[in-house]
């Protein structure tokens, strides 16, 4: 009996087992899953804030993580098309294949922008499902998070109440933060900007920014100096006040254009981990808004 009691006591002393094993393709969805899951989810993120999510190697370590995942959370809209299908296939995990309950696409939860009339790869890195960079508008997290909470609850019904409670706490804080960010960013409305890559239509829609120049001649194609010079002349009619690029992007084109146009470059974190300040979702948008405001002051 004494041995049995000791065994029972040791089992009770063990830390609670994490619930769902979640494989997130990019940091923003990993951070959101952690907010919802708390200690009832084990979250692995396949990429960092300083990696281009379009171009990732399907390493054996990623395949091994996917093999044991209960839920795969991706952006979708072809953002991860160059590497994720291989990870899914090689994992042998039937639960996380497209169309299964263990596969979740964030882009399916929001209204997509820049849907192409036709898809021609000669036009560069064009996404048939629309622009996939939905994480630059914080309002989209409310739509994605609500749907992700219910998917997690479906997969782990024993923890459903915890997931829903965590989501309600996060959503309340998030709505308050959005209101604060929008008040802070009011001076940015109508601001003309140049962007290195067409990565910011959702941010532009949220804050009322106006893109007057795109440095890439085609999505994903690095511009030449000659092209940038031509673009600079074309932008003279409506000169941008700043050049915007994501932290993971090469700095050369933005730096050249900014020097020639005599405007600042604003490097935004773009996702969690893209800067020292952007260590969670709140820090991501705190830092983004602060960097934009600092540039126009």
Q: Which residues pair with 195 in a beta bridge?
A: 214, 244
pLDDT tens per residue, range 101-122: 999 999 999 999 987 766 555 5
pLDDT tens per residue, range 126-170: 667 799 999 999 999 999 999 999 999 999 999 999 999 999 999
Cα(33)–Cα(36) distance, integer angstroms = 5
Cα(63)–Cα(84) distance, integer angstroms = 9
Backbone dihedral angles phi then psi of residue 123, each to the nearest 5 degrees = -90, 10
- Does 9 score more than 60 pLDDT? no
- 45 alpha carbon, distance to own chain's centre: 11
Phi/psi-derived region of residue 57, left when phi > 0, alpha when psi is between -120 and 50, beta in every other case: beta
Q: Are strands 192-195 and 210-214 parallel, antiparallel or unpaired?
A: parallel
| The pLDDT value given to residue 121 | 54
Q: What CATH homologous superfamily does 187-296 map to?
A: Nitrogenase molybdenum iron protein domain (3.40.50.1980)
| The pLDDT value given to residue 1 | 47
Domain ranges of the chain: 18-180, 187-296
Banded pLDDT at 189 (limits 50, 70, 90): very high
| The pLDDT value given to residue 3 | 45
Banded pLDDT at 12 (limits 50, 70, 90): very low
Helix (H, G, I), strand (E, B) or coil at 174: helix
| The pLDDT value given to residue 15 | 42
pLDDT tens per residue, range 29-56: 999 999 999 999 999 999 999 999 999 9
pLDDT tens per residue, range 261-282: 999 999 999 999 999 999 999 9
CATH class of 18-180: alpha beta
pLDDT tens per residue, range 192-236: 999 999 999 999 999 999 999 999 998 888 999 999 999 999 988
Choice between 87 and 1, residue whose per-residue pLDDT is larger: 87
Asked whether the domain spanning 187-296 has the same topology as the one spanning 18-180, the reply is yes
Q: Which residues pair with 71 in a beta bridge?
A: 22
| The pLDDT value given to residue 19 | 84
Cα(198)–Cα(188) distance, integer angstroms = 19
Query: Strand order in 265-268's β-sheet?
Result: 210-214, 192-195, 242-246, 265-268
């Amino acid at each position: 009996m004494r041995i049995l009691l000791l065994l029972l006591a040791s089992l009770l002393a063990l830390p609670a087992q994490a619930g769902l094993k979640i494989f997130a393709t990019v940091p923003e969805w990993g951070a959101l899953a952690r907010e919802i899951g708390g200690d009832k989810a084990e979250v692995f993120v396949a990429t960092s804030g300083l990696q281009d999510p379009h171009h990732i190697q399907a390493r054996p370590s990623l395949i091994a993580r996917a093999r044991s995942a209960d839920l795969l959370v991706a952006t979708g809209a072809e953002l991860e098309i160059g590497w994720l299908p291989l990870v899914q296939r090689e994992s042998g995990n039937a639960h996380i294949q497209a169309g299964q309950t263990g596969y979740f696409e964030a882009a399916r939860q929001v209204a997509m922008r820049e849907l192409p009339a036709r898809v021609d790869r000669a036009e560069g890195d064009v996404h048939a499902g629309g622009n996939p960079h939905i994480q630059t508008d914080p309002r989209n997290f409310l739509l994605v998070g609500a749907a992700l909470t219910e998917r997690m609850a479906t997969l782990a019904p024993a923890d459903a109440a915890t997931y829903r409670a965590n989501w309600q706490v996060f959503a309340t804080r998030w709505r308050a933060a959005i209101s604060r960010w929008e008040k802070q960013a009011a001076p940015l409305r109508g601001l003309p900007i140049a962007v290195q890559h067409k990565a910011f239509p959702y941010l532009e829609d949220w804050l009322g920014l106006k893109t007057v120049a795109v440095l890439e001649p085609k999505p994903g194609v690095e511009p030449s100096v000659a092209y940038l010079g031509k673009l600079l002349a074309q932008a003279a009619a409506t000169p941008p006040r700043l050049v915007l690029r994501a932290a993971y992007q090469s700095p050369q084109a933005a730096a050249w254009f900014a020097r020639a146009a005599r405007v600042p470059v604003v490097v935004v974190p773009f996702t969690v981990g893209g800067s020292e300040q952007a260590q969670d979702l709140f820090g991501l948008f705190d830092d983004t808004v602060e960097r934009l405001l600092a540039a126009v002051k």
